[in-house]
Structure 1
Amino acid sequence: MIDLHYWPTPNGHKITLFLEEAGLPYTIHPVNMGQGEQFKPDFLKIAPNNRMPAIVDHEPADGGEPISVFESGAILLYLANKIGRFFGPEQRDKIVQMQWLMWQMGGLGPMAGQNHHFNRYAPEQIPYAQKRYIDETNRLYGVLDRQLAGKPFVGGEAYSIADMAIYPWIVPYEAQGQNLDDFAHVKRWFEAVGARPGTVRAYAKGEEVRPGNPAMTDEQKKVLFGQTAAVTKG
C-alpha cells in the first residue's frame, strides 16, 4: 500500500496518473495547500521542501522499512523502477524518457508555473512578466511539438513517465495563453493521453478531493505565495 500526500495540481496529477495506470493500491491523504497543511511538522518529515506530492511506500521492493519520497519526478522514477514499467524497456529508451522528464521538471513546469502566477494569481498586472512567461511557454510547446513529430509518445513508441510528467502541465493550456491548434503533434498526443482510462480515473480522483476546483481566495494566495524561510521552518 502506498500513501499519497496529494492535492489536485499538475504535480499531484502526475502521481495519480502513474498509480492508476499501474493499478497499484494507494490511499490519498489530501494536503490542502491553501490552508497551509504543507507546513505541518508530520508532513515535513517526508516532504522537507513544503510541497506535495509525496509518498510513503509501505511495501518497498527490498522488504525493509517504509520508504518516503518527495519531488514528483523522483516519485515517478521510484515507482517506475519499483514495478519495472513505464520506464524503458532498454537503456536507450530510459535515457530519452529521463531527458524529457527532466525537461518537464526544469523547464515546462517552472515556466508554466510562473505563467500561471503572473496571469492568474498575481495581485497586480505586470505586462512584461506576463508576456515573458507566455512566450517562454510557447517556445516550450514548440520544443515538445517537434519531439512528438512521427511518434505516438514523448519517449517514442511506449507511454512512459515522461508523458505522465508533461501531460498535466498541458491541461491548462488556455490559461497559459496557448492554442493547441498551433501545435498539431502536441494536440494529437494530448487528446490520446486524455482519453486513456487511467487518465480519466486520475482526474476523477482530483475532482473527489477538490470538487469543482474553486478559485483561490485572497487568504489562500497569501498562504501559497508568502513563503519565506521564516514561514516554512516548520
Structure 2
Amino acid sequence: MTEIILENQPAGYVPPKVWSPKTTYGGQFGNINSPVSGARFERDLPVGKHPLQLYSQGTPNGQKVTILLEELLAAGHTDAEYDAWLIDIFKGDQFGSGFAAVNPNSKIPALVDQSTSPVTPVFESGSILVYLAERFGAFLPTERRARTETFNWLMWQMGTAPFVGGGLGHFYAYAPLKIEYAIDRYAMEVKRQLHVLDTHLASHEFLAGDQYTIADMAVWPWQPGSLYGVYNTHEFVAVEEYKHLLRWYKAIAARPAVARGRIVNRTSGQPGTFLLERHAAADIDSALQAK
C-alpha cells in the first residue's frame, strides 16, 4: 500500500511541522486560493431594479437559489422577481470589495434583499433558501415533523455534498496530478451518500415525504447533479445504478421552474443551457428558445 501511495505523491514530500503557502500552485484554482480572507481589490456590486439582488454563478450551490426563485415566481410570488449578476469565481470576482462586504467568506451565492430598511444581506446557500422560503411562506412546511424533516435533509446536504462531492470533483477533474488515495477516499464517500439517498427515496416521493421543499432544491444540483455536470464523474461512480434516486432526479428535472433556474449565471454549455445574467423572465425565455 505504501508503494501505491508514493507513486501518486510528489517525490520526497514530507509535511512540514508548520504549513505555509507556496508561491505557486498547479491546478485550475491554484492562483486564486489564499489562506487569508477579505477583499483583494475595489469593486462595487451592481444593483438592478428588482427587490432581490443575487450575486452568483451557476455552480451546484448557485443553482439551488435560482431554482427556488423561479419556483417562487411560478407559484405566483411576484415579489420574488430578481436580478442575477454573474460572479465569475474562475476570474476571482468573489474577492471584490462589494462582494466581500455582503459575504465575508467570499463564496457564491450571496443575496441582498433591497425591500428591507436597511437592506438585508444573506450568504451561504442554505441560509438563502431558508430566508426566501420563510419570506414568501413557500416550500418550507409549517407542520413540525415535515419542517424538521426538511431541515434534516437541508443540513445533511450542506454538511456533506459540497465537501465530499466537491472533493471528488477537485481531485478527479481539477487537481494538477491524479492522487489515487484522494480519489478513492472521496469516491467511497460519494457512493455512500448516493446509497443514503437511494435508500430513502425508495419509500419517499421527495426528501421530506410527499412535499417538494427547499431540501429537494438543495440536494438536486449536487447529488447527482454535479456528478453529471461540472465534474463529469457520473460514469466513474456508476450513478445509473441508483434507480430510486434517478426517479426523483428526473422528476425534479422535468419541472419547468427547475429547467429555468438551472441555466442562470451559467457561463458555458450548449445553446439554451446557460445564461450569464438574468434581469427579467424574458432573458430565460430567450435563452431556452435557443435550444
- Which structure is larger by alpha-carbon Rg, 1 or 2? 2
**Normalising by structure 1, what TM-score?**
0.86
Q: Per-residue deviation at 1:152?
A: 1.2
- Rounded Cα–Cα distance in structure 2 between residues aligned with 1:36 and 1:109: 19
In 1, Cα distance between equivalents of 2:68 and 2:85: 16
Kept after mapping to 2: 8 A contact 1:173/1:179: no
Please name the residue that 2:285 is paired with: none
Matching of residue 25 in structure 1 with residue 81 in structure 2: yes
* Cα distance in 2 between the residues matched to 1:78 and 1:88: 14
Question: 1:113-133 deviations in whole A, cap 9, x for unaligned?
Answer: 000000000001100000111
d(CA) in 1 for partners of 2:94, 2:226: 23
Over the aligned positions, Cα root-mean-square deviation in angstroms equals: 1.3
1:113 maps to 166
Residue type of the partner of 1:4? Answer: L
> Which secondary structure state, in structure 1, belongs to the residue aligned with residue 103 of structure 2?
coil
Q: 3-state SS of the aligned residue for 2:251? A: helix
CA distance in 2, matches of 1:117, 1:153: 29
Confirm or deny: 8 A CA contact 1:5 1:52 kept in the other structure: yes
Partner of 1:7: 57
Secondary structure of the equivalent of 1:27? Answer: strand
Aligned residue identity for 1:27: D
SS at 2:264 equivalent: helix
Alignment-derived partner of residue 166 in structure 1: 219
The 8 Å contact of residues 84 and 265 in structure 2, kept in 1 or not, is answered as no
State the distance in 2 between where 1:7 and 1:182 align.
30
Letter in 1 for 2:250: E
More helix by share: 1
Runs of 4+ in 1 over 3 A off after TM superposition: none
Where does structure 1 lack aligned partners over 5 or more consecutive residues? 214-234
How far apart, in 2, do the equivalents of 1:112 and 1:181 lie? 17
Residue in structure 1 matched with residue 98 of structure 2 by the alignment: 42
Q: Does 1:72 align with 2:125?
A: yes
1:69: how far off? 0.3
Q: 1:198 is matched with which residue?
A: 257
Superposition pairs of residues 61-210 of structure 1, within 5 angstroms: 64-169=117-222, 170-174=224-228, 175-176=232-233, 177-207=236-266, 210=267
The CA distance in 2 between the partners of 1:46 and 1:136, in whole Å, is 33
Aligned residues of 1:80 and 1:161 also touching (Cα < 8 A): yes
Aligned residues between the structures:
208
Following the alignment from structure 2 to structure 1, what is the Cα–Cα distance between the partners of residues 98 and 181?
Answer: 40
Deviation of residue 18 (structure 1)?
A: 0.3
- Aligned partners of 1:157, 1:135: CA distance in 2, in Å? 30
Give secondary structure in 2 for the equivalent of 1:34. coil
- How far did 1:151 drift? 1.6
Q: Percent identity?
A: 38
Q: Does 1:211 align with 2:265?
A: no
Q: Is the 8 A contact 1:112 1:137 kept in 2?
A: yes
Give CA deviations for 1:90-113 in whole Å, capped at 9, x if unaligned: 111110010100100001221000
Structure number with the bigger relative contact order (C-alpha 8 A, sep ≥ 6) is 1
